[in-house]
Amino acid sequence: MPRSYSFIVVVALLLVAAGARDARAQHLPDLVTTDVLRVCSDPGNMPFSQRKGDGFENRIAQIVADELKVKLRYYWLTQGPGFVRNTLGTGLCDLIIGTSGGEVVQATNPYYRSAYAVVTRKGEIDGLKGLDDPRLKDKKIGSIAGTPPFARLTELGLAGERLTPYPPYLFGEDRKHQTVAASVIADLAEKKIDVAVLWGPAAGWLARQSGVPMEVVPLLNEPGRPALTFRVSMGVRHGEDDWKRKINAVQRKRKDDIEKVLREYDVPLLVEEENKLLEPSADAKTP
């Protein structure tokens, strides 16, 4: 996971400021660098982000910077436990492009909603719509341990020898693939597993990059618990309400541009309140 850094003084100042904000948030300025957009991101987490800047979160960060008319600057750190605490929480950056909120991070308005998806090799399980499909009972399934679909698969009795659990994070310099999701899709392409169940925004792009024709089906018909659909927001520090409102305004103004980027990366997009796919707007359609 992310290595520790000696930012004791900075952390202490942030904690004091955070405590003060609880009582008089309206009267304290946001602790945000205004002449540059400082974004914390993972340097190797495609399709979301990469040091070369070719992930969809990188491109969305550039949209935000362009709208704010400032330069974009990154602080890179590998995703995992402590990522938010050691980046946004220590004041190294002012924005995280993909989050759902939490103890350290305050979520902006969501800018997209997506779902976990089931991925198969094209033509092998036609018409698959849900994890309760009886044809899955004799298939080897791969999913990341601890994720909501893993719990659902266990609930359906698909655990045991049929379910291959992948670790939530990769460690070490000798890992074969950039992310765990990429490892799952590679195993699907090599027929080590028959079905992959992954977060849709990762699954769509990775399936297309695999070199093997694949079907990616968002899981829209599963029961409400565990939830398999989620809203994704940008993240700021708690108490920085002016900054949050500014980012919300950018998201509203550049909504079509952001949607276009997401579609270019095969992110399954859902309507706000219903579990059905969002029809592309005229301005967000890919060429």
Give the chain as a 3 state SS string.
CCCCCCCHHHHHHHHHHHHHHHHHHHHCCCCCCCCEEEEEECCEECCCEECCCCCHHHHHHHHHHHHHCCEEEEEECCCCCCHHHHCCCCCCCCEEEEECCCCCEEECCCCEEEEEEEEEECCCCCCCCCCCCHHHHHCCEEEECCCHHHHHHHHCCCCHHHEEEECCCCCCCCCCCCCHHHHHHHHHHCCCCCEEEEEHHHHHHHHHHCCCCEEEEECCCCCCCCCCEEEEEEEEECCCHHHHHHHHHHHHHCHHHHHHHHHHCCCCCECCCCCCECCCCHHHCCC
Q: Are 216 and 117 in contact (CB under 8 A)?
A: yes
CA distance linking residue 145 with residue 112, whole number of Å: 24
How many Cβ atoms sit within 10 Å of the Cβ of residue 4? 8
User: Would you kindly state where each structural domain of the chain is located, as residue ranges?
Assistant: 36-112+232-265, 114-218
Cα dihedral 269→272→274→277 (10° resolution)? -20
User: How far from 142 is each of 89, 164, 214, 235, CA to CA, in Å?
Assistant: 34, 5, 15, 30
pTM: 0.85
- How many Cα neighbours within 13 Å face the side chain of 85? 12
**Partners of 106 in beta bridges:** 236
pLDDT reported for residue 226: 86
| pLDDT by residue, tens only, the chain of 287 residues | 333 333 233 333 333 344 433 433 333 457 788 899 999 999 999 999 999 999 999 999 999 999 999 999 999 999 888 899 999 999 999 999 999 877 889 999 999 999 999 999 999 999 998 999 999 999 999 999 999 999 999 999 998 888 999 998 876 644 688 999 999 999 999 999 999 999 999 999 999 999 999 999 999 988 878 889 999 999 999 999 999 999 999 999 999 999 999 999 999 999 988 888 888 876 665 55
The per-residue pLDDT for 160 is 83
CATH number listed for the domain at residues 36-112+232-265: 3.40.190.10
What CATH number does domain 114-218 carry, 3.40.640.10, 3.40.190.10, 3.30.1490.20, 3.40.960.10? 3.40.190.10
Q: Computed from CA positions of residues 50, 1, 179, 115, in that sequence, does the dihedral angle turn out positive or negative?
A: negative
Cα separation of 203 and 262, whole Å? 13
Q: Does 36-112+232-265 match 114-218 in CATH topology?
A: yes
pLDDT value of position 124: 96
CA atoms within 13 A on the CB side of 70: 16
**Can you give the pLDDT at residue 260?**
97
What is the length of the chain? 287
CA 125 vs. chain centroid, Å, equals: 27
Tokens coding 88: 């946004």
